[in-house]
Amino acid sequence: MPDTQEVSKAVASLYNTYPFPPEPLLDEPPPGYNWRWNWLAAYNFCTGRKPQKQNIRILDAGCGTGVGTEYLVHLNPQATVVGIDLSEGALNVAKERCQRSGANRAEFHHLSLFDVDKIPGEFDLINCVGVLHHTSEPIRGIQALANKLTPGGLMHIFVYADNGRFEVRLMQEAIALLQNEKRGDYRDGVSVGRKIFDSLPENNRIVKREKERWALENQRDENFADMYVHPQEIDYNIETLFELIDASGLDFVGFSNPTYWNLERLLGKAPELIQRAEKLSERERFRLIELLDPDNISHYEFFLSRPPLEKADWADENAILAAIPELNPCIDGFPASSIFNFDYQLIRLSETEIEFMQACNGVSTVKEILNKVQLDLEKVKELQKQQLIIFS
């Protein structure tokens, strides 16, 4: 096993050299949204209902230059947000970023995941994006975070997937071989990597994959370094991913990119195979999907929870009629006949659906609105299923 302190030192050195992510600093709130960082939208995704409180504590574990931290503050106006990171250089950028955009409810600590217990109290939402796979002991890291999650709280995690990063690993090893004794000199590593790409034939597999998937973001040296010269990386498949999840002691709520995990999109033309797959366990079905579609999975993003996490059951129509609906805060373009939903997918609405959604003020019940708007209850269910509206 790699020495934890040496790995942490090397990772901190990389991000002191190339603070990441390298998004520009703005003198205003960042544009758009990531629904996974919005407590209302994320909680609704995980439970099917609005959370009972919004004055929550959020931890951004491995916050880097504060891109996620800034969103967490602006998207959750009643929350207090704490960011931790190994890199002082990245933290300095994060502090400036949040100060400039008015995200003044963020506080920062120079800490590793392993030392998160030094922060008092628990958190309702923990965000850990692109971090665990860069530690020497991911299980120890996820367990440290799990110990800080409040009962009923959510943890959002992003780690690399093995299948979709095959060419990345080849390039990482090639750069390391050519660097030889200069490994750990990250600027040299970026220079070597750039020269390799400039030299390889256009039909080379690694070049083709870079152009298909990564080239736009990798124009910036910070992104290139994070991908190709990182000193520590662990990639997962479904089996090893759930070993990590099981070790956390938390419950798996679900992947936050569920469209990828729909077997119908791959085997829909063979209903007999879909029937066979129904006999598999959930994890076996996940494994089947990533085996059949390896190129389109470069990472896993998912939610975990500490029990008890109460999930709503809207099977009873009387419960729906008594529910109080409001708009999902992460939709774009409303009111219009074509809007983007929480996951930036295009949704088309009828005039009556628009009228119903305009009446979703967080005060009136579904029944009260339907007394004024002539919309079928099944259509209301569909709006809720599409997460355009949130029930409480």
pLDDT (average), residues 326-344? 96
Per DSSP bridges, beta strands 80-85 and 123-129 are unpaired
Q: Give residue-wise pLDDT tens across range 212-227.
A: 999 999 999 999 999 9
> Would you state the pLDDT for residue 32?
94
* % of the chain beyond a pLDDT of 70: 100
Query: DSSP states of 314-370 as a string?
Result: --SHHHHHH--EEE-SS-BS-SSSEEE-TTS-EEE--HHHHHHHHT-BSSS-HHHHH
Measured CA to CA, the distance from residue 103 to residue 98 in angstroms comes to 5
Across all residues in the chain, what is the average pLDDT? Answer: 97
* pLDDT higher than threshold 80 for residue 180: yes
Give residue 301's pLDDT: 98
Structure confidence at residue 174 as a pLDDT band (50, 70, 90): very high
User: What does the pLDDT read at residue 3?
Assistant: 87
Structure token pair of residue 276: 């066979």
Q: Are 348 and 337 within 8 A, CB to CB? A: yes
Average pLDDT over residues 303-332: 97
Helix, strand, coil percentages for the chain (3-state, nearest 5): 45, 15, 35
pLDDT in tens, 192-249: 999 999 999 999 999 999 999 999 999 999 999 999 999 999 999 999 999 999 999 9
Closest CA to 388 of 351, 352, 360: 360
pLDDT exceeds 90 at position 1: no
Residue 2 is predicted with a pLDDT of 73
For residue 188, give the H/E element and its range.
helix 186-199
Across the range 283-308, mean pLDDT stands at 98
The pLDDT, as a whole number, for residue 102 is 98
Q: Which two tokens stand for residue 117?
A: 């217990």
Q: What is the C-alpha separation between 175 and 214, in angstroms, rounded? A: 17
Model confidence pLDDT, tens digit, residues 127-136 = 999 999 999 9
Q: What percent of the chain has pLDDT over 90?
A: 99
How do strand 57-61 and strand 123-129 relate by DSSP bridges?
parallel
* pLDDT at 49 > cutoff 90: yes
Mean pLDDT (whole number) for 161-184: 98
Q: What is the pLDDT of residues 97-126, one digit of tens each?
A: 999 999 999 999 999 999 999 999 999 999
Assess contact for 64 and 87: CB atoms under 8 A: yes
* Per-residue pLDDT at 185 exceeds 70: yes
